[in-house]
Structures are given as C-alpha cells and as structure tokens.
Amino acid sequence: MVRSQFIVVSDDQALIQKAQQFGQMHGVPVQVQSPEQHQATVTELPSLVAGNSAVGGTGTGEGAKVLQFPGNAGQSDTRRGVATINQLESVAIEQAIAAFKGNLTEAAKALGIGRATLYRKVKQYNIDPAMARKKKAA
C-alpha cells in the first residue's frame, strides 16, 4: 500500500497555509517542517529506513524517492516573492521526469500520483517529457 505525504519546508506562514489547503483538497496529509527540522530529518533518514528493516518492518522505505525541491524555484510571484502551488507542482513534475530520464510511469510513482494524472498534468503545464529522454540519449 502506498502512502503519500506532502512535506512543506518553510518558515513562510502564507505558503504553509496554502500547502495545507492543497493537502486538504487532495486528501494528502501535510507535514510542516522548518528548514532546520528538515535538514535534521534528511540527515537521519538513512538510519531510519535501515532501522525499519532491522526490526522487522515492512520495508516501506524501499523504492521511495526523495526529490529535492529548489529553495527558490525562480518562478515566483513578483508581488510577494512566493511561488504558486501550480508553479511548485510544475517544477516538481519536471524534476521527477528528469530524474527518471523521461520515464513517466516511474516519475508518477515517485510523485505519488497515478500515471494518467501525470499525463494530464504534463499536458496542463505544457511539459515536454521528450526533453528528458533526449538528455538520456546524449
């Protein structure tokens, strides 16, 4: 069973509130961490996953993908310096597609969404997965 979770790393209360609303709309639990908390989590993640397997856990960490989100997406609302959820989602999708070299099935799994949903979002945001495949061939 796949369990999706949306982790927001920010000190910006407006962004946190938008992310929580997004999570509620899509039925995904939202966990909020400060940048310092997130760094500590990333540092101890390998030992947590190893510990889960060592104590007879189900190994749910196996195959999990952690995609780094840029600190500054570069596509922000110039009025407040905050990127919209759609901009963040678009960047995350582009990164996942690039990370899996154009393999949309694997990118969808890493994002925690269905393949059909990813295809719809790729079309919605005018993302060209062929660019990632071309980088793979080069």
Tokens of 96: 């996942």
d(CA 100, CA 97): 5
**Where do the structural domains in the chain lie, given as residue ranges?**
1-57, 74-138
The length of the chain is 138
At 43 the pLDDT is 67
CB atoms within 10 A of CB 119: 13
Residues 15-63 have pLDDT tens digits of: 888 888 888 887 888 888 888 877 776 666 566 555 554 444 444 455 5
pTM: 0.44
CB atoms within 10 A of CB 48: 11
At 76 the pLDDT is 42
Provide, rounded to the nearest whole percent, the portion of the chain with pLDDT above 70: 65
d(CA 29, CA 59): 21
Name the one residue in this structure whose structure tokens are 């992310």.
Answer: 19
Q: What is the DSSP letter of 10?
A: -
DSSP assignment string, 61-125: TTT---PPPPSS-S--BTTTTB--HHHHHHHHHHHHHHHTTT-HHHHHHHHTS-HHHHHHHHHHT
β-pairing verdict for 6-9 and 30-33: parallel
Tokens of 117: 């949903």
